[in-house]
Structure 1
Amino acid sequence: MTTHTVTSYDQLPIIDLSAADGDPRSRALLHARLHSAAHDVGFFQLVGHGVTRAETDALLTAMRAFFALPEADRLALDNVGSPHFRGYTRTGDERTGGARDWRDQLDIGAERPARVPGPGEPPYWWLQGPNQWPAALPGLRTAALAWIDRLSGVAHRLLRELLTAIGADLAENPHVSLLFPWHPLARQVIVTGTARRTGRDETAAYFRTRPHGSRLGAWASAQSTVIASRTELDTAYAALEARYPEDEQVPVPPHWGGFRVTPETIEFWQGRENRLHDRLRYVAQPDGTWKVERLSP
């Protein structure tokens, strides 16, 4: 592992993700640096992610080939023909803040079935849907989706380590804030308090309330780690299903657990016109009762 030291925040922090595969000291150092970069800076450069130069070059080669196509072939993928904001936008047609943005670009995302937002659902669901691909360059689809899959694996791995870093932080600073928003109703609940890791007895008691299949799934899936295929996951589940039939107790995985938050304040927020929102805050009292306060919006 290469050690990078950030002496000040005048330079971008460098995070080496390969340390996640190292010894306990290397992982602890990774989590400390990752937490600091995410919390104190907000940006960082990621190295040690495992993406090879050949994988990057494959995507860049395919993209250069696309932009070298005749304009008619590129315009066949015009972005305006996709309700999911996927496709080609030629120079001058892109607009940012109402002004022309002089970029020649192709918008591609994860290949998923189209989803039309239902009543009360946020409009961003329109962004989920299929891509547009050039008939004259079939290799672009293969290269782009392979790149998206590869980077999704890196993202899952990075998120897993970041969540571990946050969990370690809770052991040192247990003060937390939870937000539960309901945007279509203009409502939200904000809870502040202290968090503690649940004990094994409490964890086991909750684990036993979960459906039998979910308990098997907790063993079959090493959550957010990269796997070769769906078959690998299904095979692991089938083996567990044979080992622990419906009438047999499934043990609690050693890595499985959670945090319990003891609330100190609970604020109920209701949006109103003219920014004159209703805010009622319940504050826990030493005798176990709650004091209700109205806050100015």
Structure 2
Amino acid sequence: MSTTPTPPSLPIIDISAFVHPDPDPNIAADRKRATAHRVHEACRDAGFFYLTGHGIETEVMEKVLRLAKEFFLRPDEEKAELSISRNDQARGYQRLGENVTRYKKDFHEVPPFIPGLDLYKPVTAEHYVVRNNLPLRGENLWPKNPPEFRAEFEDYVERMKRLGQAVMGAMAMGLGMEESYFERFLDDSFWCVGGFYKGGRSGSGPFGPI
């Protein structure tokens, strides 16, 4: 009798050694080496992994998800004020079918087609995308409601950037390099937060940032 093989599970890695290093330098170094080895194995063998010990409190993530849900349940005419068509066709609110990838509408590529709100790293007038009139040259269009949306999302972005730097440090050590090796490439990282919503007015569908 044949049996269905159990799909492999993704590794779960405690990254706290890089987020909150032990005050004892010897213990800190040992913990980082062990964590870096696990990250290296996960990248090599699975390609993806889950993180624990990342220092981003559950309350923070739940609040960001709640604010995303509240925004998507606002009236359509209010969300339309943030339309990407009023900006650079990238930053802002996208109704069904308005998402653009490589200059083509792609409906987020997979069904069911869902609306979204895209936010990117702010750019100055001197940035090359602005000087060359390229996509992403506009400003982020922040919702006025909920009132705390912008402050909470900007805080979330900063937390995720710090976590990303910690993970890159672990990856560097896993490759046998100094923890700081990738820092020279991350001093001006370009981030994106996409909020997507699928569901009726009852708010029963999944939602939140990625």
Fold match, TM over 0.5? yes
Q: What SS does structure 1 have at the residue aligned with 2:120?
A: coil
Call closer, same or farther: CA 1:136–1:47 in 2, change over 3 Å.
closer
Match of 2:162 among 136, 153, 162: 153
Match of 1:231 in 2: none
* Structure 1 gaps, min length 5: 1-7, 170-222, 225-297
Match of 1:37 in 2: 42
Determine if contact 1:94/1:103 at 8 Å carries over to the other structure.
no
Please tell me the residue identity of whatever aligns with 1:157. A
Superposition deviation, residue 128 in structure 1: 5.6
Superposition deviation, residue 58 in structure 1: 1.7
Match of 2:9 in 1: 11
Count matched residues.
162
Task: Give me the TM-score of the superposition, normalised by structure 1.
Answer: 0.47
Match of 1:108 among 116, 119, 122: 119
Determine if contact 2:88/2:136 at 8 Å carries over to the other structure.
yes
Please tell me the residue identity of whatever aligns with 1:19. A
Q: What SS does structure 1 have at the residue aligned with 2:93?
A: strand
- Distance in 2 (alpha carbons) for counterparts of 1:160 and 1:34: 10
Match of 2:88 among 46, 70, 83: 83
Please report the RMSD computed on the Cα atoms of aligned residues, expressed in angstroms.
Answer: 3.2
Determine if contact 1:84/1:130 at 8 Å carries over to the other structure.
no
Determine if contact 1:73/1:136 at 8 Å carries over to the other structure.
no
Match of 2:141 in 1: 132
Answer yes or no: is 1:27 the counterpart of 2:32. Answer: yes
Cα deviations by residue, 1:83-104 (Å, 9 ceiling, x for unpaired): 2611001234336775544111
Call closer, same or farther: CA 1:64–1:118 in 2, change over 3 Å.
closer
Task: Flag the structure with more relative contact order, 1 or 2, with Cα contacts below 8 A and sequence separation at least 6.
Answer: 2
Answer yes or no: is 1:142 the counterpart of 2:146. Answer: no
- Distance in 2 (alpha carbons) for counterparts of 1:144 and 1:117: 23
Match of 2:174 among 165, 174, 194: 165
Q: Percent identity?
A: 25
Superposition deviation, residue 47 in structure 1: 1.1
Answer yes or no: is 1:64 the counterpart of 2:73. Answer: no
Match of 2:202 in 1: none
Cα deviations by residue, 1:199-226 (Å, 9 ceiling, x for unpaired): xxxxxxxxxxxxxxxxxxxxxxxx69xx
Please tell me the residue identity of whatever aligns with 1:28. R
Call closer, same or farther: CA 1:134–1:94 in 2, change over 3 Å.
same
Cα deviations by residue, 1:4-48 (Å, 9 ceiling, x for unpaired): xxxx99221111101332524332221111111112322111111
- Distance in 1 (alpha carbons) for counterparts of 2:89 and 2:175: 34
Determine if contact 2:12/2:49 at 8 Å carries over to the other structure.
yes
More strand by share: 1
Task: Give me the TM-score of the superposition, normalised by structure 2.
Answer: 0.65
Q: What SS does structure 1 have at the residue aligned with 2:17?
A: helix
- Distance in 2 (alpha carbons) for counterparts of 1:118 and 1:104: 26
- Distance in 2 (alpha carbons) for counterparts of 1:79 and 1:99: 14
* Structure 2 gaps, min length 5: 1-5, 185-210
- Distance in 1 (alpha carbons) for counterparts of 2:16 and 2:139: 33
